[in-house]
Structure 1
Amino acid sequence: MKRIGITGQNGFVGSHLYNTLGLKPEQFERINFERSFFEDSEKLDEFVKQCDVIVHLAAMNRHPDPEVIFNNNIDLVKSLVASLDRTGSKAHILFSSSSQEEKDNLYGKSKKEGRTLFAEWAERSGGKFSGLIIPNVFGPFGKPNYNSFIATFCYKLTHGESPVIDNDGQVKLIYVGELVQEIISKIEAAQTQDLYEVPHTSENKVSEVLSKLENYRNLYFENGEIPELATTFDLNLFNTFRCYFEIKDHYPVKFTQHVDPRGAFVEVIRLGIGGQCSFSTTVPGITRGNHFHTRKIERFAVIKGKALIQLRKIDTDEVLDFYLDGNEPAYVDMPIWYTHNIKNIGEEELYTIFWINEPFNAEDADTYFLEV
């Protein structure tokens, strides 16, 4: 069992790392960190004392004055190093640096100098240090106009705006889930490595990424069709895109129902990919689900009866309620990292069709149980 603290645990990468570590409670204990600890040496020292591993992610990326970015990032490193010295810690420090280290800007310089300060601490204290040079990161819940151009494009395409390409260059990218696995592998290795360049997992022109996202908007956001997802990058980009529209305003989506004297016909899903389709009957008062996925795409379609579908992003308290009725067939798609359930709130059996983008595999189910 390793006790792990994450500075910046509520940030983009930090929250993904924090939540992923939480999936393995038998291996990792998460030590809570708050931004205010940097202003209180006693609280910072108490945090440091508890940690076998500290992943230092807290940093400023953007500010009108580059000097503010530089001073802020260096001050954070110096505060943490001072606490490590005061407590005599020999923790393993992992530091997120950037591919901008070699560029002539103050953000890159703050990262390079911060990495040097941690390496010097490790050498004199006997602690361990891993300096990670990280490529451009994208993924769900990144802030538009801050974390990545992909976050900005996704937000604009789902909010009636038109993205603009400033520089159509080749960009080396890594999905935040892939970066988290890289960090965890370094935690498990527990070795000093002053400089490790995290390999990018895809390389794309900005215009190619925008073209894919525009296709997702046209097929999925506007028409409910699951697009062709030929590569891992496509799947990760699509799951990223799905997290940017206003879920509580978008769902439930009503199907087009064709009625004639024989009865009714409803098309449930149109696919560019395969997967597994199933249906269930649920007796009144019973709730199914209460779990979440980290990569799967899933659709719940109610075709008979009355249902309450609930969603909650796992690190928030807000519960989203969607009421569906088979008399007006509709569906709700499950975003990744949202725990979800479905309850029969009617007086007759509930009929539900479920589609998921990959067949169930008991050895890699990507299903984590958590009450909504």
Structure 2
Amino acid sequence: MKKIGITGQDGFVGKHLYNTLNLYKDEFEIIPFSRNYFNDPPQLDRFAAQCDVIIHLAAMNRHESPDYIYETNLNLVRSLIASLERSNPECHVLFSSSSQEEKDNPYGRSKKEGRQLLMRWAEKTGANLTGMIIPNVFGPFGKPFYNSVVATFCYQVSRGITPAIYTDGDLKLIYVGELVEEIIKKIRQGGTEPDFVVPHTAEVKVSRILQLLNQFKAIYQDKGVIPSLNNRFELNLFNSFRCYMDIANHFPVRFTPHTDPRGSFVEVIRLNTGGQVSFSTTVPEVTRGNHFHTRKIERFAVIKGEALIQLRKIGTSEIIEFRLSGDAPGYVDMPVWYTHNIKNTGREDLYTVFWINEFYDPEDPDTFFENV
């Protein structure tokens, strides 16, 4: 079992990496890290001494003072190197640099020079270094106005704010889940690769990103229709967008029943994409679910009985609750990285229709169990 430390584990990429590594508890043990360790050399040394691998993600992206960004990022690298020299010179280090290395800005220079400092340290000590030059990263839970234009646009569009495009350039992008896959691959491989260029998985104009997000808002958020998702990038962008919505106030969405003397008819889902529809009955007091998905889109539609649906974002403690009834049928969609369940809170059987956008594959279920 490899012992893994992640500097910046509470940041955008760090949180996703931390949560994903936790899915492989038989292979990886995560050594907890706090940003305060950089101000406490003995504590930083204790952290570094425990690690087989350190992924150095801690960095500053934005600040009023460009010089402060530059000095902060370089000082973080210097502190890590000094700690490794004192406590663990054989540790494998993965350093997250950026495609902005080639741009003449303080952030890009700090990442390039930080990687060069680590290269000299690795040459001197014989340690393994993977210097990852990473394109623009997007995905769920990125910080708007800080991590990426995608995060900013998702936040604005989902709240009815019109974004502004200042430069309609081509963006080379990688989804955060794809980046995490690359990092885990390098952890497993080991070895030295000081200038590994992480391949981008999509190249899209800024205006096209905004066009897609506006479509998601109009088709999905406003009408409840699952949009056509033509490739992996569009699926990843859609799942990102869903996580920026005000979930607690958007759901549950009530159906429109059509009633006549024969009974009633309810349209459960309209989709421009495929998937699988299932139906279940649940006896009183029984709970189903308590799992989460990292890529799947899923809808729970209650059509008879009384139900409590609960959601909790992985790594947090806040629980969002929705009460649904067959007397006013409705649905809740499950965002990625939210563990969720459904409980029959009534006295009769609960009838639920489930839709998910993929056929179930036991070899790749994308279903991870964790109690809400």
Q: Same fold (TM over 0.5)?
A: yes
Mapping of 1:236-247 within 5 angstroms? Answer: 236-247=236-247
Cα deviation, 1:271-322, whole Å, max 9, x if unaligned, reads: 0101000110000010000000000000000000000000001100011111
* Contact 1:9/1:33, CA 8 A, preserved across alignment: yes
* Contact 2:61/2:107, CA 8 A, preserved across alignment: yes
Q: Hey, what does 1:44 align to over in structure 2?
A: 44
Q: Hey, what does 1:31 align to over in structure 2?
A: 31
* Contact 2:159/2:245, CA 8 A, preserved across alignment: yes
Deviation at 1:89, TM superposition (A): 2.6
* Contact 1:154/1:213, CA 8 A, preserved across alignment: yes
Q: Hey, what does 1:345 align to over in structure 2?
A: 345
Q: Hey, what does 1:64 align to over in structure 2?
A: 64
Counterpart code for 1:295: R
- How many angstroms apart in 1 are the aligned matches of 2:314 and 2:147? 21
Does residue 87 (structure 1) correspond to residue 87 (structure 2)? The answer is yes
Deviation at 1:158, TM superposition (A): 1.1
Cα deviation, 1:147-168, whole Å, max 9, x if unaligned, reads: 1101111000111210111100
Cα deviation, 1:111-163, whole Å, max 9, x if unaligned, reads: 01100111111111121101111000000000111111011110001112101
Q: Hey, what does 2:277 align to over in structure 1?
A: 277
Cα deviation, 1:161-206, whole Å, max 9, x if unaligned, reads: 1011110011101000000111111111101111011000010111
Does residue 174 (structure 1) correspond to residue 174 (structure 2)? The answer is yes
Deviation at 1:228, TM superposition (A): 0.3
* Contact 1:287/1:342, CA 8 A, preserved across alignment: yes
Deviation at 1:28, TM superposition (A): 0.7
- How many angstroms apart in 1 are the aligned matches of 2:255 and 2:88? 63
Where does structure 1 differ by over 2 angstroms across 4 or more consecutive aligned residues? none
Q: Hey, what does 1:54 align to over in structure 2?
A: 54
Q: Hey, what does 2:128 align to over in structure 1?
A: 128
Q: 1:88 to 1:154 in 2, by over 3 A?
A: closer
Deviation at 1:257, TM superposition (A): 1.2
Q: Hey, what does 2:359 align to over in structure 1?
A: 359
Q: Secondary structure at the match of 2:160?
A: coil
Which TM-score applies when normalising by structure 2?
Answer: 0.99
Deviation at 1:348, TM superposition (A): 0.5
Q: Hey, what does 2:223 align to over in structure 1?
A: 223
Q: Percent identity?
A: 63
Q: Hey, what does 2:186 align to over in structure 1?
A: 186
Counterpart code for 2:256: T
* Contact 2:38/2:79, CA 8 A, preserved across alignment: yes
* Contact 1:48/1:89, CA 8 A, preserved across alignment: no
Which TM-score applies when normalising by structure 1?
Answer: 0.99
Counterpart code for 1:197: V
Q: Hey, what does 1:96 align to over in structure 2?
A: 96
Deviation at 1:360, TM superposition (A): 0.6
Counterpart code for 1:238: F
- How many angstroms apart in 1 are the aligned matches of 2:242 and 2:88? 45
- How many angstroms apart in 1 are the aligned matches of 2:86 and 2:36? 18
Q: Hey, what does 1:8 align to over in structure 2?
A: 8
Q: Hey, what does 1:303 align to over in structure 2?
A: 303
- How many angstroms apart in 2 are the aligned matches of 1:24 and 1:107? 33
Deviation at 1:335, TM superposition (A): 0.5
Mapping of 1:285-300 within 5 angstroms? Answer: 285-300=285-300
Q: Hey, what does 1:257 align to over in structure 2?
A: 257
Mark the runs of 5 or more structure 2 residues left unpaired by the alignment: none
Q: Hey, what does 2:143 align to over in structure 1?
A: 143
- How many angstroms apart in 1 are the aligned matches of 2:257 and 2:10? 43
- How many angstroms apart in 2 are the aligned matches of 1:173 and 1:116? 24
Q: Secondary structure at the match of 1:243?
A: helix
Counterpart code for 1:223: K
* Contact 2:48/2:88, CA 8 A, preserved across alignment: no
* Contact 1:307/1:346, CA 8 A, preserved across alignment: yes
- How many angstroms apart in 2 are the aligned matches of 1:194 and 1:63? 28
Q: Secondary structure at the match of 2:327?
A: coil
Cα deviation, 1:234-253, whole Å, max 9, x if unaligned, reads: 10000000000111111111
Q: Secondary structure at the match of 2:230?
A: coil
Counterpart code for 2:217: R
Q: Hey, what does 2:203 align to over in structure 1?
A: 203
Counterpart code for 1:192: T
Deviation at 1:88, TM superposition (A): 3.8
- How many angstroms apart in 2 are the aligned matches of 1:280 and 1:125? 60
Counterpart code for 1:2: K
Mark the runs of 5 or more structure 1 residues left unpaired by the alignment: none
